[in-house]
Amino acid sequence: MSRLACGLQGLVCIALAAVGLACLASAGEVAGGKTVTIKPRETNELLANPGMGWQTFHHFADDDPNLDGLPSGAAYFRFYWRELEPREGQIDFAKLDDLLAHAHRAGQKLSFRVMCASTSEYFGVPEWLKEKGCRGFEYEYDGAGPFWVPDFDDPIFQEAHFRLLRELGKRYDGHPDLDHVDIGSVGLWGEWHMSGTGVDVPPLGTRLAIIDAYLKAFPTTPLLMQIGDTEGMRYAISKGCGWRADCLGDMGGFSPTWNHMENAYPQQVEASGAQDAWKRAPVAWETCWDMRKWVAEGWDVCHIFQYALDYHGSYVNNKSAPIPKGTRDSVEGLLRKLGYRLVLRMLEHPQRAAVGSALAVRTEWENVGVAPPYHDYRLAFRLSGDGGEAFRVVTAESIKGWLPGSRTLEQRINLPADLAPGRYTLSLGVVDPRTGEPGVRLAIEGRDAQGWHPLSGIEITPAG
């Protein structure tokens, strides 16, 4: 337990020391009485928080052999349509239900993509789609094949696929364990291109209709659009979607004169108007190959990670591959900036408050990460005494959209009229409004086993 460095006198200092708070405290005078000011100590701890971080890939934090102790609040999966609906109208909801439940047990949230074009099996879509008479195209990829992709303009495809998306949205949009959904479907692996196949992607009108189908199915859950389709991405961004790129780290693996980092991503972000999309929706990165390729090629890992941060990334997915020797410090440095990282710099409130009154609380915050939170978690306060928790309030203040930088909040907490007078510890948490329990870890010391931060002592006096 941390010791306090404080100059308080009397009951305030005694109460603070008794709970072993990891902060600096002082008392001052305000109109009507004394005020307590708490300055928590920032921590260097790696944090697993929802909506950001080091993504596991087709693994969870409790079964990923290569996570090697890194915290992860995000798990990412991809499915071919044939895996989700092997028989027409019989969607395998149990598969997704089980994955969402596993994510919850592992302290993560699930994200997924639906794909239609494979490079390993003839069908990426269900066989019944072709049997119904849907048109399609055969293709080869990298000397393998043939493979088959449906004609996305065919009404048979659109009726069946849009129904799939609607049913997935009905069941999972806004699910508490679902983090985000990729706008997939089109192109190899759902990446919105058919490179090297001789098959064209659908015309623009059809691509926009597919994006609309996702937007209608998932109006609440954040959606991300693959960066490769300029017109499609521009449209998706205009509708509030984020973006993802699946070749972070390519510094010349495909060509000595061209690479994604210098010759594709900056141009696509500018052309699609996505420069500020991160302020409203997430940016996700997936490593090209995985980090072992970067090290083998002698590419600068720190430069690659800084690139991801410069574009305000919230996720990095290394495909659950091993972290190469000598890069662990770089990974940990990335994770202390990736996404959001909330530091409570100061909390201030009166030393005493009467039952039934409004307790004025002033807080100063800093998001030292590179992106805001994209989910609705709320600030909450708790009073506890010798008998345990006496009062809890979840405020209307959401951390959603807190951009990097500082902010000050002035809040008033209505104390119950039946609250017993006495000495209490005031704790703060960032909670899921559906449960009232802490769901976001703050980058300050002193978090208790339930996720609350006991910050100060306060005396509750009788009314009047």
**Is the entire prediction scored with pTM above 0.85?**
yes
Number of domains composing the chain: 2
Q: Per residue of the chain (464 residues), what is the pLDDT tens digit?
A: 222 222 222 333 333 333 445 666 555 544 446 999 999 999 999 999 999 999 999 999 999 999 999 999 999 999 999 999 999 999 999 999 999 999 999 999 999 999 999 999 999 999 999 999 999 999 999 999 999 999 999 999 999 999 999 999 999 999 999 999 999 999 999 999 999 999 999 999 999 999 999 999 999 999 999 999 999 999 999 999 999 999 999 999 999 999 999 999 999 999 999 999 999 999 999 999 999 999 999 999 999 999 999 999 999 999 999 999 999 999 999 999 999 999 999 999 999 999 999 999 999 999 999 999 999 999 999 999 988 989 999 999 999 999 999 999 999 999 999 999 999 999 999 999 999 999 999 999 999 999 999 999 999 999 97
Q: Which domain holds residue 312?
A: 53-335
The answer to whether the beta carbons of residues 275 and 235 sit under 8 Å apart is no
Nearest to 76 by CA among 247, 320, 335: 320
Same domain, 415 and 370: yes
Same domain, 240 and 388: no
Length of the chain: 464
Residue showing tokens 């449906």: 150
Same domain, 181 and 238: yes
Domain boundary among 276, 305, 335: 335
Same domain, 266 and 372: no
Structure tokens at 172: 């999972």
How many Å apart are CA 281 and CA 401, to the nearest integer? 9
164 φ, ψ to 5°?
Answer: -55, -50
Which pLDDT tens digit goes with each residue over 302-318?
999 999 999 999 999 99
Which pLDDT tens digit goes with each residue over 226-263?
999 999 999 999 999 999 999 999 999 999 999 999 99
CATH of the domain at 314: 3.20.20.80
Same domain, 257 and 400: no
